[in-house]
Amino acid sequence: MATLALKQALTLAFHNARKLSGGRVADYIPELAKASAASFALAACTSRGELAALGDDGLEFSIQSISKPFVYALALADHGAEAVHKRVGVEPTGDAFNSIIRLEQNTNRPHNPMINAGAIAVTSMIETRDGKAPLERLLNLFALASGRDRVHVDLPVYLSEAASGHRNRAIAHLMKHFGMLHGDVQRTLDLYFQQCSALVSCRDLAVMAATLSNKGVNPVSGIRVLPEEAVTHALNLMLTCGLYDSAGRFAFEAGIPAKSGVCGGIIAVAQGNAGLAAFSPPLDERGNSLRALHALREISEKLNLHAFNAPLRKPSSSGRSPAVSARRAVVRENISTGKLSRLLDEIHRKRRSERGGIVAKYIAELARVSPNLFGLSICTVDGDEISTGDAAVPFTLQAAANPFTYGLALQAHGVSALHSKVGFEPSGNPFNAIVLDPRTNLPFNPLSNAGAIACCSMIPGGGATERLNRVLAGLSRFAGENSLRVDLQVLLAERAAGERNKAIACLLRNFDVIDDEEAALELYFQQCSVSTTCRQLARMGATLAAGGVNPVKGEVALDSGHVKHVLALMYMCGLHDGSGQFAFDVGIPAKSGISGGLVGIVPGRFAIAAFSPPVDAKGTSVRGALAMRDLTAALGVGLFT
């Protein structure tokens, strides 16, 4: 990243954000209430160790929850992912940072390490090693990551945290009750309050973020601070959970992992490029610094840092659409078509005998398919296609249609209008939950059933036929062929079994999210009943991977500016209450359907589609998910790998 461009973006964002008013300094910890609302700083550190900073960049404040990804990564380094994740999950919750209400069903784990409950469980795993006590190890970690000689605990803040931390005490005792907290409750709480009270500056945070950006190596000192694999996991969870119930919106708009603290600090990580940090004490209603969020979004936009940006591609009448980016071309040469073909065959052989999951039964037509079917297809951004197994067997898209219909609705109305009807956030709920965001009475995101019904209500047309034809034409552009049709038998079965979705539609109408529940619901049933194959679904995904241009036909299916938004929401919400685990395991945007269809996208490279009817409890093809995990691991193409 060019230092001059970074400094210019920093300066512009600083001047624009400092004009903002509003927000409230955190006061539930008395010492934090003493912070000046006027304080504001921005800082950045490049992967070469070059620093740029503005405003109160040397002012020290307590790190608070920005400590969480670093402590989580240290626990991973100490114990390994399997041991850590016996005590804490990887799923977004849709809840506030200090929620005590929900634990994962069946496991009693806190949902993720970025909320207080999960962070307390993780902190309990930091033990004495090499003669160093837990607190010394944490302070040393922060010092190494920031490039400082020493980091100190702010004693007044620690004492204030300890005196006012009744909610965290309740959380800790609950974690101990369920066996998720290792060791003594009071020892853990003391350590947790101390880690949150460590003093840092905005400059320090920028270097700490750059250490994550640089795969765990501090770019200023050159010292390895954390293992690369631990950093990969931390970045995944920062993207999906780091800003709590604002994580989805920031991923949608800025597209980079971030972590906030109630001190008013936020770090953001542009992987391989730079670490960013901002500090401003007034917080928004969700506990994140108002000015800091604004500034970081602007910097990401100015510098094109969004993780889901695909390379710009030009429509071509030749049937191919060559990439503009030479760097991407080199990457594709290293993943040859022959290698992909051999790997796909190998994965298919490995996973075709996999057991587990059940064929969806609540729609009668879906229950009639053979559980032994298993197809895999890849389509690259250059239009190369590879298939194996039952890749030509037709199935219906079901919820795998949602991101594409969402893209069509975005194209028709734009971001602001569409998202006045549907949110950006993962909810932590199953795909068919009859739950709306209690703050807004909107669906949490466009990829749940409720959100997809809302999107269908916004497809333009003078009547039912025109709206359906618009959706079919749009899906056909994604697929690069005009053979997509509605399976009438499945549609009739959808209608017959659709009472739950009818209830969702009525609820949406009650809150004025949709104007005509019957029209929206019918189009939703129709899009779910569109028949496709693995090969076609891979093409549809490859169109997103190629920035909205179908790689086989060379036709534009979606404006490139909307593609990153679709991919961000697929990464955050595409597998519903299994999205976090899939992001953790596989690391690519994906969307599932209960028919057993699954599509995953590697932006700028290729898409993979799977079809295997047995699905897990969260509605995702068991064989398909395992196949995608095998593929991304073999090729090293996960988002933060």
- Sorting pLDDT into bands at 50, 70 and 90, what band is 95? low
The reply to whether 36 belongs to the active site is no
Query: Among 146, 157, 158, 192, which one carries the catalytic annotation?
Result: 192
Check whether residue 449 and residue 593 sit in a common domain.
Answer: yes
- CA 544 vs. chain centroid, Å, equals 17
Tell me what pLDDT residue 314 has: 55
The whole-number pLDDT of residue 326 equals 35
Say if residue 129 is exposed, middle or buried (CB neighbours under 10 Å; 0-12, 13-18, 19+). Answer: exposed
pLDDT, averaged across the chain = 93
Is 210 in the same domain as 359?
Answer: no
Choosing from 25, 62, 68, 151, the catalytic residue is 68
Specify whether the CB–CB gap between 624 and 395 falls below 8 A: no
Classify residue 309: in a domain, yes or no. Answer: no
Query: For residue 385, what is the domain's CATH number?
Result: 3.40.710.10
To the query of whether residue 362 is one of the catalytic residues in this protein, the response is: no
Domain membership of residue 582 (yes or no) is yes
Q: Are 115 and 243 in contact (CB under 8 A)?
A: no
Q: Do 245 and 394 belong together in one domain? A: no
Q: What is the DSSP letter of 256?
A: S
55 strand-pairing partners: 41
Q: Is 192 assigned a catalytic role?
A: yes
Amino acid type, 610 = A
Q: Residue 320: its pLDDT value, please?
A: 45
| One domain for residues 297 and 342 | no
Q: Mark whether 105 and 156 lie in a shared domain.
A: yes
Report the distance separating Cα 36 and Cα 38, nearest Å.
5
- For residues 304 and 547, give the distance between their C-alpha atoms in angstroms, rounded to a whole number: 14
Question: Residue 450 is part of which domain span?
Answer: 335-635
The reply to whether 68 and 27 lie within a common domain is yes
Q: Residue 452: exposed, middle, or buried by beta-carbon count in 10 A (0-12, 13-18, 19+)?
A: buried
Domain membership of residue 313 (yes or no) is no
Q: What are the tens digits of pLDDT across the range 111-138? A: 999 999 999 999 999 999 999 999 999 9
pLDDT digit string (tens) for 444-457? Answer: 999 999 999 999 99
Mean pLDDT of 165-188: 92
Active site (annotated) includes residue 68:
yes
Residue 189 structure tokens: 């709480």
Count Cα atoms within 13 angstroms, Cβ side, for 190.
8
Structural domain total, the chain: 2
Q: In which band, very low, low, confident or very high, does the pLDDT at 100 lie, cut at 50, 70 and 90?
A: low
Banded pLDDT at 330 (limits 50, 70, 90): very low
Task: Determine, yes or no, domain membership for 544.
Answer: yes
Q: Is 29 a member of any domain?
A: yes
- Among residues 67, 146, 176, 244, which one is catalytic? 244
Per-residue pLDDT, averaged over 409-429, amounts to 95
- Tokens of residue 466, six digits: 């025109």
Tokens of 315: 């429509």
Annotated active-site residue in 262, 471, 530, 552? 262
Q: Which residue has the higher pLDDT, 335 or 551?
A: 551
pLDDT of residue 333: 47
The pTM of the full predicted model, rounded to 2 decimals, is 0.94
Q: Could you tell me where the DSSP H helices lie in 457-612?
A: 464-479, 488-496, 499-510, 517-528, 534-545, 560-573, 579-585
Question: Which one of 39, 47, 65, 146 is the catalytic residue?
Answer: 65
Reading the block at residue 633, the tokens are: 């691991």
Model confidence over 505-542: pLDDT tens digits? 999 999 999 999 999 999 999 999 999 999 999 999 99
Catalytic residue list contains 65: yes
- Alpha helices per DSSP H over 255-358: 290-303, 326-334, 337-351
| 215 strand-pairing partners | none
Of the pLDDT bands very low, low, confident and very high (cuts 50, 70, 90), residue 96 is low
